[in-house]
Chain A
Amino acid sequence: MHPVVRLEKVSRRFGKVHALDELSLEVREGEIYGFLGRNGAGKTTTLRILIGILRPDSGSIDLFGGRVKRVTVSLKQRIGYVSQEPTFYPWMTAEQLGRFVGGFYRTWDATEFRRLMRLLDIPERRRSVELSGGTRAKLGLALALASRPSLLLLDEPTAGLDAVARREFNDLLAQLHRERGTTVILSSHQVGEVEQLAQRVGIIQAGRACFEGDAATLRAQVRKVTSPLPIGLPDGFEQVRGDIYRAAPERWDSWVWPEGTQISILTLEEIFLGFARTDHGAPGS
């Protein structure tokens, strides 16, 4: 599969704060890419660069197979974006928002928007200020999908939702992705939902990419080592944090550990926590 998005050594500073520090990542066509990181790790900055709200200080961006200096309006026509806190016009109803947003997209499909509203159970004639947080998130998703984007950027869309609303939203996202095969970048610090939805995962910490690949590979690479004796860092192993090490899967099988040593396989959440706790600074967002 061709990469839809490729960032190479992208950096962005806000004053003295390095929000992104030579971040590189690659998102392939048709996949849901789980973008994991703590608050302030740089996830939102990355997505805002991809939607053209911000520009990188350095590095290169490839979108839809072409190198871009900046994200133009014509490129934005192909990208759908759901922000963490949608700031819809409070006086507009969902229907009016659809008409308003539709005016900006050549590919806007009003029928699809109505279908999505029905599917997502969004009241058409209620003002956006009167909608619940979950419904607002769904409305954001409907608005983003009705333009039939090639790339969908979801910036922690379920932040602030309760467990039920989050599950509903994620189920709908999975269903819509199955129907359309749209490339999705799902930014989140909820490891569970990323593990459930994403084919590949990128972990970002303090503006730098720590890992990129599929979750199974990550789980095969990162393990916990508990030994009664002190152990040095074996060749080919990288200490993630404390007793959590990372190595190619074959190294784990071939290395001879001292007697009594226990090797534990970790969940994605435990691995994420291992990466997340390596740095204490959390600049930018």
Chain B
Amino acid sequence: MRCGLVRKELREHGWVVLLLWLACGLALLTLWRRVDRDGSPFVSLGYLVATFGPLLSLAVTNRLVVREYGGRTQLFLETLPVTRARVVATKWFLGAGLTLLPIVAALVATAAWGSGRVLLTARFLTLLAARSLSFVLWFYALAFVIGLLGRYRFVAWGFLLTGGIALDTLTQTPLDQLPPFALVSSGFGLERQTLPAAALLITWSITAVLLPCAFALALAGEGALSSMLARRMTRREMIVVAVAALVPIALLAFLDNRKPKPDFHLASAIVVEHGGQKVGIAGTARLDVASARALGDTIASDVSELKDYLGLARIPTIYVLPDASLDGDVFQRAALPASDGVVVRGAFGASGFEEEEFRAFVIGEVIDWYTRGRAAGEEQRWLFDGFKQWWVGRRLSSFEERLRRRAAAGATRFTPDVEALRRWLTVREQLGDCLSDALAWRVVSVLAQGAGPSNMRSLAREVWGRRPADDARVLLDPSFERVLQRTTGLTIPNLAAMTAKTLSEENTGLAACGDAPSSWSAGIETRPAGGGLYEIRYRLESSGDKPGSYAVRYTKLQPWDGEIGRSSLSRVDAVRDGVLPLTVERGTRMFAGVEVRDEALQCTVRIGARRWVVP
């Protein structure tokens, strides 16, 4: 080493190194206070080595390498009587010393402080020294090489970081169990006997490769390579690097999303199999084993038939979780971030729980799962909503009759014309799930009748029978209306006209029955509440019998909110006109509607629903 060069480096970077050493000492003192929790002061030392080792390495190499080459002052050194190799060697060994010294000091200090707390043996201390110094020296050697990459050093760090995350994410390889990280992993302060020979050997080997790499980079092209790398990036380079950095990250996220997830499994569930389809019912006090098996068998039968009808490939076991905390007419599907499958919840045995409705819900969720959620797209939503009802109702005349009455009731408030069929989410929002599903059922039943069983099946298979690609290829899929016309020969206007005719005939029957929903009306109004705030008042009116109680559903909306799920709505139970328990500012986007339970229809009906911006 050149003394003059060492003196220069210490004069230039000494204060930074001293500050880091001081921080390292303070961190050690802080970590010692955790000794009761950690069990050994050397566990605390492990934390220090794992954090301050890399930190010191980064800071020291940044000062010694990046600053020298970035400032192009190495060109001045080249004019002096000293070889490049000697300059690099001086920097490398000086930096290694500055990085390792505080670690050695921390080890000695911890040994001195901890001698009364834990038994110290020469072997234990040797193990600690070997593990900590090898790890820190490896990281230092890596940081030195990357520092010589100049303007590409951040790219290199990003690449290594992304690579590490990719390895961890895609292969489930725990990095902290692999050398060199294994040297400072959880066993650092506790392992007293076993020498991690393989980890040490690998770490030393990597360090031994990194050292000549540093020299090669610094000396290549008579120093021209490192000098060229140290120049600032051009704008074009920045763009290329940004794109090159984003592509692997996006790819990683993409691959992670596409990674097959394990099927959901509930070991305690009662599993029933029918036609190759398994359904698991979780046990509950409200549902005895026999009822659970019967329900499971019915659902398995529905799904098994659906598989044959649509030509679906494998469907994982469907799990049904009874949940008494839900309303009877509320069914939910669980979001499964770590596993795959269809898991649904319903309040079995609760007031208002209808098994047919639940079966239709399960059918819908199976189709939704198989089509990766695309079946619920607005363009074909009426088909999706109506088909699941139609599937269950086609062999249950009582359920079909109920649907017919609901559809007729819905039609008195909303005609399923061409516009409605193309914007079915508006129909759902206005009528609520129950009436809109029934109206959709009516459209689908008209379609099934008009197209014939074979064409109906062709349509269903075409739109849902193939698992769609989970990427941009889905953009190549033909539009739903084209598929409808090709498979059934019907267009949306044809269908709307046919449905309107059918409903018109049925409305006559409904009038004769004297069903009531059309006699109810609701109002939602915004009124100033003072201080620049507004309150929202609701009222329910009826030309006939007024319901005893009803609910007001509401929520604040964001500009981009599309479909409003029922579970995302707040609820206020009411018996008379009132004010919602919130005040809003001008410009707030709101949705609110009144929901009334119509016992004649066995259905919760939504009235007076509106979206608006508080003026």
Indicate whether A and B interact: yes
Chain A residues within CB distance 8 Å of chain B? 51, 53-55, 73-74, 76-77, 81, 83, 86-91, 96, 100-101, 103-105
Q: Enumerate chain B residues within 8 angstroms of A88, measured Cβ to Cβ.
A: 73, 76
Q: Enumerate chain B residues within 8 angstroms of A101, measured Cβ to Cβ.
A: 80
Q: Are A83 and B222 in contact (CB under 8 A)?
A: no
- 23 contacting pairs across A/B (C-beta < 8 A): A51-B79, A53-B78, A53-B222, A53-B223, A73-B81, A73-B82, A76-B80, A77-B81, A81-B79, A83-B75, A83-B79, A87-B71, A89-B12, A89-B71, A89-B76, A90-B71, A100-B7, A100-B8, A101-B80, A103-B3, A103-B4, A104-B2, A105-B81
B227 CB, min distance to chain A CBs, angstroms: 11
Q: Enumerate chain B residues within 8 angstroms of A100, measured Cβ to Cβ.
A: 4, 7-8
Q: Give which listed residue, B12, B75, B223, contacts A87 with CB less than 8 A.
A: B75
CB nearest neighbor in A for B221 = A14
Q: Are A104 and B82 in contact (CB under 8 A)?
A: yes
* A-B Cβ contacts below 8 A, count: 49
Interface centre among A55, A86, A88, A101 (most CB of B within 10 A): A101
Chain B residues within CB distance 8 Å of chain A? 2-5, 7-8, 11-12, 71-73, 75-76, 78-83, 222-223
Determine the distance from Cα of A53 to Cα of B75 in the docked complex, in whole angstroms. Answer: 9
B354 CB, min distance to chain A CBs, angstroms: 80
Q: Enumerate chain A residues within 8 angstroms of B7, measured Cβ to Cβ.
A: 100, 103
Determine the distance from Cα of A96 to Cα of B73 in the docked complex, in whole angstroms. Answer: 15
Q: Give which listed residue, A53, A74, A90, A96, contacts B79 with CB less than 8 A.
A: A53
CB nearest neighbor in A for B223 = A53
Determine the distance from Cα of A104 to Cα of B43 in the docked complex, in whole angstroms. Answer: 46
Do A55 and B222 form a contact, CB below 8 Å, given A88-B73, A90-B71, A103-B3? Answer: yes
Q: Enumerate chain A residues within 8 angstroms of B82, measured Cβ to Cβ.
A: 73, 104
Q: Are B81 and A87 in contact (CB under 8 A)?
A: no
Determine the distance from Cα of A53 to Cα of B223 in the docked complex, in whole angstroms. Answer: 9
Q: Secondary structure of the B side of the interface?
A: helix
Interface centre among B3, B11, B76, B223 (most CB of A within 10 A): B76
A228 CB, min distance to chain B CBs, angstroms: 55
Q: Are A104 and B72 in contact (CB under 8 A)?
A: no
B204 CB, min distance to chain A CBs, angstroms: 32
Determine the distance from Cα of A260 to Cα of B365 in the docked complex, in whole angstroms. Answer: 108
Q: Are B81 and A54 in contact (CB under 8 A)?
A: no
Determine the distance from Cα of A77 to Cα of B5 in the docked complex, in whole angstroms. Answer: 16
Q: Are A54 and B222 in contact (CB under 8 A)?
A: yes
Q: Are A87 and B76 in contact (CB under 8 A)?
A: yes
Q: Enumerate chain B residues within 8 angstroms of A73, measured Cβ to Cβ.
A: 81-83
Determine the distance from Cα of A32 to Cα of B2 in the docked complex, in whole angstroms. Answer: 33
Q: Enumerate chain B residues within 8 angstroms of A105, measured Cβ to Cβ.
A: 81
Q: Enumerate chain B residues within 8 angstroms of A96, measured Cβ to Cβ.
A: 11
Q: Give which listed residue, B4, B75, B222, contacts A104 with CB less than 8 A.
A: B4
Which 4 A-B pairs give the minimum distances between C-beta atoms?
A103-B4, A76-B81, A87-B76, A104-B80
Q: Enumerate chain A residues within 8 angstroms of B223, measured Cβ to Cβ.
A: 53
Q: Enumerate chain B residues within 8 angstroms of A76, measured Cβ to Cβ.
A: 80-81
CB nearest neighbor in A for B78 = A53
Do A89 and B83 form a contact, CB below 8 Å, given A100-B4, A103-B3? Answer: no
Q: Enumerate chain A residues within 8 angstroms of B73, measured Cβ to Cβ.
A: 87-89
Determine the distance from Cα of A156 to Cα of B79 in the docked complex, in whole angstroms. Answer: 15
Determine the distance from Cα of A103 to Cα of B11 in the docked complex, in whole angstroms. Answer: 15
Q: Are B81 and A86 in contact (CB under 8 A)?
A: no
Determine the distance from Cα of A76 to Cα of B84 in the docked complex, in whole angstroms. Answer: 13
Determine the distance from Cα of A209 to Cα of B495 in the docked complex, in whole angstroms. Answer: 92
Q: Secondary structure of the A side of the interface?
A: loop
Interface centre among B4, B12, B223 (most CB of A within 10 A): B4
Q: Are B3 and A87 in contact (CB under 8 A)?
A: no
CB nearest neighbor in A for B8 = A100
B546 CB, min distance to chain A CBs, angstroms: 86
B391 CB, min distance to chain A CBs, angstroms: 72
Q: Beyond the given A53-B79, A73-B83, A89-B71, could you list 5 further A-B residue pairs with CB under 8 A, ordered by the A residue number? A: A54-B222, A83-B79, A88-B73, A103-B2, A103-B7
Q: Enumerate chain A residues within 8 angstroms of B80, measured Cβ to Cβ.
A: 76, 101, 104
B71 CB, min distance to chain A CBs, angstroms: 7
Interface centre among B3, B11, B75, B81 (most CB of A within 10 A): B81
Q: Enumerate chain B residues within 8 angstroms of A103, measured Cβ to Cβ.
A: 2-5, 7
Determine the distance from Cα of A104 to Cα of B11 in the docked complex, in whole angstroms. Answer: 17
Determine the distance from Cα of A89 to Cα of B3 in the docked complex, in whole angstroms. Answer: 17
Determine the distance from Cα of A73 to Cα of B82 in the docked complex, in whole angstroms. Answer: 6
Determine the distance from Cα of A103 to Cα of B78 in the docked complex, in whole angstroms. Answer: 14
Q: Enumerate chain A residues within 8 angstroms of B5, measured Cβ to Cβ.
A: 103
CB nearest neighbor in B for A80 = B79
Determine the distance from Cα of A96 to Cα of B81 in the docked complex, in whole angstroms. Answer: 18
Determine the distance from Cα of A80 to Cα of B322 in the docked complex, in whole angstroms. Answer: 90
B81 CB, min distance to chain A CBs, angstroms: 4
Determine the distance from Cα of A77 to Cα of B223 in the docked complex, in whole angstroms. Answer: 20
B137 CB, min distance to chain A CBs, angstroms: 28
Do A87 and B8 form a contact, CB below 8 Å, given A53-B222, A104-B80? Answer: no
Interface centre among A55, A77, A100 (most CB of B within 10 A): A100
B75 CB, min distance to chain A CBs, angstroms: 5
CB nearest neighbor in B for A71 = B81
Q: Give which listed residue, A53, A55, A77, A87, contacts B72 with CB less than 8 A.
A: A87
Determine the distance from Cα of A201 to Cα of B295 in the docked complex, in whole angstroms. Answer: 106
Q: Are A89 and B81 in contact (CB under 8 A)?
A: no
Q: Enumerate chain A residues within 8 angstroms of B3, measured Cβ to Cβ.
A: 103
Q: Are A104 and B81 in contact (CB under 8 A)?
A: yes
Q: Are A91 and B4 in contact (CB under 8 A)?
A: no
Determine the distance from Cα of A96 to Cα of B71 in the docked complex, in whole angstroms. Answer: 18
B101 CB, min distance to chain A CBs, angstroms: 24
Determine the distance from Cα of A87 to Cα of B75 in the docked complex, in whole angstroms. Answer: 7
Determine the distance from Cα of A54 to Cα of B223 in the docked complex, in whole angstroms. Answer: 9
B347 CB, min distance to chain A CBs, angstroms: 75
Q: Enumerate chain B residues within 8 angstroms of A74, measured Cβ to Cβ.
A: 81
Q: Are B222 and A89 in contact (CB under 8 A)?
A: no
B484 CB, min distance to chain A CBs, angstroms: 65
Determine the distance from Cα of A53 to Cα of B82 in the docked complex, in whole angstroms. Answer: 10
CB nearest neighbor in B for A144 = B79
CB nearest neighbor in A for B83 = A73
Determine the distance from Cα of A88 to Cα of B8 in the docked complex, in whole angstroms. Answer: 12
B517 CB, min distance to chain A CBs, angstroms: 84
Q: Enumerate chain B residues within 8 angstroms of A51, measured Cβ to Cβ.
A: 79
Q: Enumerate chain B residues within 8 angstroms of A91, measured Cβ to Cβ.
A: 12
B80 CB, min distance to chain A CBs, angstroms: 5
Q: Enumerate chain B residues within 8 angstroms of A90, measured Cβ to Cβ.
A: 71
Determine the distance from Cα of A51 to Cα of B72 in the docked complex, in whole angstroms. Answer: 18
CB nearest neighbor in B for A105 = B81
Q: Enumerate chain A residues within 8 angstroms of B2, measured Cβ to Cβ.
A: 103-104
Determine the distance from Cα of A89 to Cα of B4 in the docked complex, in whole angstroms. Answer: 14
B259 CB, min distance to chain A CBs, angstroms: 45
